[in-house]
Amino acid sequence: MEERIASPAKTIEILQSNDFQFLKKFGQNFLIDLHVLEKIVKAAAIEPEDVCVEIGPGIGSLTQALAERGKQVIAVEIDGRLIPILKKNLADYPNVTLVHQDFLKLDLKALLREMGVERPIKVIANLPYYITTPIIMGLYESGIPLSGMTVMVQEEVARRIQAGPGSKDYGALSLAVQYYADAYIAAFVPQNCFMPRPKVGSAVLQLTTHRQKPVSVKDEGLMFALIKAAFGQRRKTLVNCLRNAQQLDFSKEQVLAAFETVGISEQIRGEALDLAQFAALSDALTED
Ligand code: SAM
């Protein structure tokens, strides 16, 4: 086995020999813990036929582990200073394709098509925290066939994504992600596993895409607009949230009639509803 890029000694050697200075604006906190790396790879359950897409490979710590297990790795890095370092560090792995791009601007669908990738991909990343939600939701909304995502995120975000009704962490993000995938926290990761240390704790989140959506809804857009409105003013009752939301235009009578159809009380708050109830409410408000 090749020398581990993620070992603290090797990471320091690479950083020093390249005189590399971390850039805060790119959320650069490199992983330097081999046990955590193992947990990520285990949660992702990479098979020899898998095509892995990594967002933000840094100096290649995780990329190396993915290249050793999967068929192909597509690693997208925004920071041009890291490209020559990555090329050198990963020279022994011909199955790695480096892409120098802002992931949020990349047309991943077109790239996969160009590369002849036909099977659902696995996304694995120690994410830059400043763009966690746009990356996760962008991938789901893109419709790219995705078998799973294994991502390091801030602990607080992992808890929010995994939460269910009744939890203080439950919100629009929980429902948005759970519509597409089953979410569980595979590991909690302390700050000292990174260089430089981030300010908050992290967690490895495993998102396994549903084979079939857990609810069927006539108008997905309306359901998500209801969810957004429901959590926009957490202290208010759901009926008031829906009435006050600028993007919705329902009368109180329409809302209450829909509540009756779904069997929910006028006093209920949005945080008490699960995905199936939001879907039912959306359908009750959708004209046939
Ligand atoms: N994967 C490496 C590791 O685990 O040590 C680095 C992880 S670091 C938390 C995040 C990485 O994402 C950095 O390499 C950073 O330059 C890169 N990055 C930040 N914003 C990005 C973007 N919009 N598109 C692609 N890469 C990005």
Span 147-183, pLDDT tens digits: 999 999 999 999 999 999 989 999 999 999 999 999 9
Task: Report the alpha-carbon distance of residue 45 to residue 42 in Å, rounded.
Answer: 5
pLDDT at 1: 64
Residues with CB under 6 A from ligand 1: 26-31, 55-58, 61-62, 76-79, 82, 102-104, 126, 128, 131
Give the bridge partners for 272, in sequence order.
none
Q: Copy the structure tokens of residue 214.
A: 């857990």
CATH topology classification for 8-209: Rossmann fold (3.40.50)
When the pLDDT of each residue in the chain is averaged and rounded to a whole number, the result is 96
Measured from the Cα of 106, ligand 1's closest atom is 24
| For range 38-56, the mean pLDDT | 98
CA 226 to centroid of ligand 1, rounded, Å: 33
Which residues of the chain does CATH 3.40.50.150 include? 8-209
Q: Does domain 220-285 have CATH number 1.10.8.100?
A: yes
| Res 200 pLDDT > 80 | yes
Percent helix, strand, coil in the chain, to 5, is: 45, 20, 35
Which protein residue's CA is at the shortest distance from atom 2 of ligand 1?
58
Which protein residue's CA is at the shortest distance from atom 21 of ligand 1?
78
The strand ranges marked E within the chain are: 30-31, 51-55, 72-77, 96-100, 121-126, 146-154, 181-189, 194-195, 202-209
Which protein residue's CA is at the shortest distance from atom 19 of ligand 1?
26
The pLDDT tens digits of the residues spanning 90-122 come to 999 999 999 999 999 999 999 999 999 999 999
Which residues of the chain does CATH 1.10.8.100 include? 220-285
pTM over 0.85: yes
Task: Report the alpha-carbon distance of residue 236 to residue 247 in Å, rounded.
Answer: 17
pLDDT at 178: 97
pLDDT at 235: 86
The pLDDT tens digits of the residues spanning 255-274 come to 999 999 999 999 999 999 99
